[in-house]
Amino acid sequence: GDAMVDHHRALRQGFPEVIFGESKSVGQIERIMAALAARGNNILVTRIDEAKALAVREAFPQARHHAEARCLTLEQKPVEPRGRGTVLVVSAGTSDLPVASEALVTLRMLGNAAEHLYDVGVAGIHRLLARREALFAARVVIVVAGMEGALPSVVGGLVNCPVIAVPTSVGYGASFGGIAALLGMLNSCAAGVTVVNIDNGFGAAVAASMINRE
């Protein structure tokens, strides 16, 4: 039982417990959730597919399934608001939505005010520019993008706050499962842009949350 809890991914005091669901069975997830729930904490399960989520919810009917984000959350006590401002998640195409949603669910479980600006891509720059106020109002921006990964550079050039770039594995051919986007982001010519692993919406949200805390 205890061996299953991913201590290496434990966050800090006052945060929810997090379970990385990807390679775990329904039974394993349930056993870990039970152990963690007994301590009274809130719980966030990431990378859990539809089928597993439905099965786990039979044991924990009060858990909430965020289908697009592939997450499950169990709130045993209200999430305490923390953070000095808003974290804005910006995404381009429809296929980037799961990663953006993972970031949003994580941000909210960590007590942040979080907004989503979607359907804004570099090849239609006016849609992004039309949302300038939302950009300027943010304390941290998370930019989720696949394909050529150019969006964080444009956003970083507009805003004055930290930008966390999340490459996604969206694309085909020479996108190489997100490598093209990752390299684009690492080479960003805008100041203040840092990068996390491909598809790691969770990690971006944790970093943004630390930046945003009071």
Ligand X SMILES: Nc1ncnc2c1ncn2[C@@H]1O[C@H](COP(=O)(O)O)[C@@H](O)[C@H]1O
Applying CB under 6 A, the residues found at the interface with ligand X are 5-6, 9-11, 18-20, 46-47, 93-94, 102, 191, 200, 202-203
Cα 187 to Cα 98: distance, rounded to the nearest angstrom: 24
Q: Of these partners, ligand X, Mg ion, its own copies, none, which one is at the site of residue 112 (CB under 5 to 8 Å by kind)?
A: none
Residues 174-213 that bind Mg ion (CB under 5 A): 192
**Phi-psi category of residue 210: left, alpha or beta, with phi > 0 → left and psi -120 to 50 → alpha:** alpha
Nearer to Mg ion, 85 or 192 (CB): 192
Q: Contact between 93 and Mg ion (CB under 5 A)?
A: no
Q: Contact between 111 and Mg ion (CB under 5 A)?
A: no
Shortest distance, CB of residue 142 to ligand X, whole angstroms? Answer: 14
Q: Of these partners, ligand X, its own copies, Mg ion, none, which one is at the site of residue 46 (CB under 5 to 8 Å by kind)?
A: ligand X
Among 149, 156, 162, 178, contact with Mg ion (rule: CB under 5 A): 156
Q: What is the DSSP letter of 85?
A: S
Q: Of these partners, ligand X, Mg ion, its own copies, none, which one is at the site of residue 184 (CB under 5 to 8 Å by kind)?
A: its own copies
Nearer to its own copies, 13 or 62 (CB): 13
Shortest distance, CB of residue 19 to ligand X, whole angstroms? Answer: 4
In the three-class reduction of DSSP (H, G, I as helix; E, B as strand; rest coil), residue 40 is classed as coil
Contact call for residues 58 and 27 (beta carbons, < 8 A):
no
Cα 30 to Cα 60: distance, rounded to the nearest angstrom: 8
Q: Which residues pair with 164 in a beta bridge?
A: 142, 194
Cα 107 to Cα 65: distance, rounded to the nearest angstrom: 16
C-beta nearest to ligand X: residue: 6
Cα 56 to Cα 61: distance, rounded to the nearest angstrom: 8
Shortest distance, CB of residue 133 to ligand X, whole angstroms? Answer: 25
Residue whose C-alpha is closest to residue 33's, from 44, 22, 47, 49: 44
Shortest distance, CB of residue 107 to its own copies, whole angstroms? Answer: 13
Cα 206 to Cα 110: distance, rounded to the nearest angstrom: 8
Q: Of these partners, ligand X, Mg ion, its own copies, none, which one is at the site of residue 19 (CB under 5 to 8 Å by kind)?
A: ligand X
- For the chain, what's the residue count? 214
Give me the residues that bind Mg ion (CB under 5 A), please.
156, 159, 192
